[in-house]
Amino acid sequence: MLQIGPLHLDSPLLLAPIAGHCDLSFRILCREQGGVGLASTDLLNSRAILNGSAKTLELAATNDLDNPCGMQLYGNYEDPLPEAACWAIDHGAKLIDINMGCPVDKVAKKHGGSLLLRDCASTMRLTESIVEAVRKHSGGRVPVTAKMRLGWDREHFVAPILARDLESIGVQAVTVHGRWTVQFFSGRADWERIGEVVAAVKSIPVIGNGDVTEPHHVIDLMRQTNCAGVMIGRGALRTPWIFRQALEMIRMGDNPNPEGVFAPSFLYKCQMIRRHIDLLTQFAPSERHALHTMRSRIAWYSKTMGPIKPLKEAIRTALSLADMVIAIDSWIELAGEEQEIRQKTACANVG
């Protein structure tokens, strides 16, 4: 469904890196819902990786359930990005992605991210050294990609030329988030300009990104831009099953019917929350971390679950994962009973 150099993905839909959110547990959760072709780690500091920073190594953690996994690196022209990329390959990365889009001051003022959009000549030299190191280290098995914004600001729409130049030195796909660095996350993503990047490259896939929050947005973005793949970030935090729904729509062809796509029940959503807690129990670096993650995540999940204030409150105030499990299990039980009654009533009505 999407070929990135030597890497074949079963779906053209990618989970976006979202620092602080798309950890190993969440990546596995989204994959299990279906439709995810690739998920990447959140941005990893190249120096911190090589210095063995415990926090960065936690962020880089992956396993067999998280396959294929991309690792996203950031750094500037003086950082050891080629060495960090080789480390990433040795630790499970099936794809190396270079962050050229992070707008956050801490990163973009000094360390990399969107900074790389400001001096494209240096970015080309840096990327060339990464591509070469990765090619040698992996024997050509692992592609290098770049994730960029349109440019620093409206006066510097560098993405089309940069993408084409990166292609010429062996970068095998680019993801374009349709915003300017100075916008951070405000305004709308400009899909038209993503289309201009698609038109600028010769043959590598361009992955469109920005404001895809409903499955049909995937179809709209692909149609409008001709992009080969779509990356979804915040939409997945709310509805991790969006990839499955969008892939079903893609498979429907020219006339996708939103009515015919997977519609998760309330019970399903409760069970998914339980699964997320289980994954955090297994893979989060500590219980404290897991509790913190789930407390913030319940706010996203609740957006599609109607009035669940008592559940939100129970998750927010739980002092242990065991307490969270007790809370969600009671909702699963209730939702299961209600679903059963509804099904019986429906059968009786048909009968």
Ligand X SMILES: Cc1cc2nc3c(=O)[nH]c(=O)nc-3n(C[C@H](O)[C@H](O)[C@H](O)COP(=O)(O)O)c2cc1C
Per CB under 6 A, 293 contacts ligand X: no
> 102 or 308: whose CB is closer to ligand X?
102
CB proximity list for 69: less than 8 A, separation 6 or greater:
27, 38, 39, 40, 41, 62, 92, 93, 94, 95
| Interface with ligand X, residue 212, by CB under 6 A | yes
Name the amino acid, one letter, at 102. C
Q: Which residue, 43 or 290, is less far from ligand X as judged by CB?
A: 43
102 is an active site residue: yes
Give the per-residue SS3 of 106-164: HHHCCCCHHHHHCCHHHHHHHHHHHHHHHHHHHCCCCCEEEEEEEECCCCCCCHHHHHH
Alpha carbons 107 and 265: distance in angstroms, whole number: 40
The residue among 104 and 325 lying less far from ligand X, judged by its C-beta, is 104
Tell me which residue of 129, 132, 39 sits closest to 93, measured CA to CA. 39
By beta-carbon proximity to ligand X, the closer residue of 73 and 277 is 73
Catalytic residue (one of 22, 86, 102, 120): 102
**Torsion 254-257-260-263 (CA) sign:** positive
Would you count residue 232 as binding ligand X (CB under 6 A)?
A: yes
Contacting residue, 9, 30, 36, 43, with ligand X by CB under 6 A: 43
**Partner residues linked to 270 by β-bridges:** none
Burial class of residue 253 in the structure, from the number of CB atoms within 10 Å of its CB (0-12 exposed, 13-18 middle, 19+ buried)? exposed
Q: What angle do CA 120, 126, 128 make, to 5 degrees?
A: 100
Of 57-65, 94-102, 261-269, 322-330, the window that binds ligand X (rule: CB under 6 A) is 94-102
12 lies in the binding site for ligand X (CB under 6 A): no
Q: For ligand X, which residue has the nearest CB?
A: 233
- Shortest distance, CB of residue 198 to ligand X, whole angstroms? 17
Q: Please identify, among the stretches 85-93, 164-172, 230-238, 303-311, the one whose residues bind ligand X according to the rule CB under 6 A.
A: 230-238
Q: Mask: binding to ligand X, 157-196, rule CB under 6 A, as x and -? A: --------------------x-------x-----------
Identify the three-state secondary structure at position 22.
Answer: coil
Q: Is 233 near ligand X (CB under 6 A)?
A: yes
Question: Using CB under 6 A, which of the segments 23-31, 63-71, 95-103, 136-144 binds ligand X?
Answer: 95-103
How do strand 2-4 and strand 7-9 relate by DSSP bridges?
antiparallel
Q: Is 147 in the site for ligand X (CB under 6 A)?
A: yes
When the beta carbons of 13 and 270 are compared against ligand X, the nearer one is 13
The single-letter code of the amino acid at 53 is S
Q: Could you say which of 5, 17, 82, 195 contacts ligand X (CB under 6 A)? A: 17
Q: Which residues are identified as catalytic?
A: 102
Site residues for ligand X per CB under 6 A:
16-19, 42-43, 72, 99, 101-102, 147, 177, 185, 209-212, 232-235
